[in-house]
Structure 1
Amino acid sequence: MLMSISCSNSRGEKIVTLDFWAFGAEGDRVRQFVAGFESENPGVHVAVQNIPWTAAHEKLLTAYAGNSLPDICQLGNTWIPEFVVLDALENLDPSVDSSNMISPASYFPGIWETNRIEGKLYGIPWYVDTR
């Protein structure tokens, strides 16, 4: 789902705003990446909302029910099957296939596969940890 807010920059060009929900401490880390992304893509603004992990799942389900999911979000890979069943996630295979930045070979096969449901890719691994 891509949502844009009609805004213009000083040259009168339309600016697309992408809503990014980051969970936990990653919200601060994402902002560092966003600044570089926005400077390389002047027609795009990324609005980062930091959400505590304790509220993330409920907030995502509420947003789904209200048809107001973010454009991009961090998602625990154990939640992927649930959101695939809801048809709330986009198949990322076409985007990855045409990307010159994301290569499945750059990831551990096991972590890459945790983002696949019935052969379709629904997430790009960002980091791996143990609990």
Structure 2
Amino acid sequence: MAGVENALQEALTIEGALGAALVDIGSGMALGSLGHAADLDLTLAAAGSTDVVRATVRAVELQGRAEVMEDILTTLTHQYHLIRPLTGAGGQGLFLYLVLDRARSNLAMARHHTRRIESELTI
């Protein structure tokens, strides 16, 4: 079982990871963040991504779908931004935000690792 700091450190071991944050959906505030890209403001990016999460949740609700959102992907020219809403006990209302270098990352493996990190995270 990993705490916030360990989970973020584990996220940064994913091939191509530039930064990671654990974010509260309600406030947009990061509970913690780690990263090593000089041009990446994780706090700002995570807060902005909160709007994306809220809009996606609302769209699913409006459709009356009984499905659970696994993740959201934003593809930029040089980066992937992967959002994984947490569904485990204690993690509800939070999401894991991961920024990947598009040229160095394997998106399928990153998704696999974020699922594992979520399963081991304790808040």
Shared fold per TM-score greater than 0.5? no
Q: Report which structure shows greater RCO (CA 8 Å, sep ≥6).
A: 2
Greater fraction strand: 2
Larger Rg: 1
Q: TM-score, normalised by structure 1?
A: 0.30
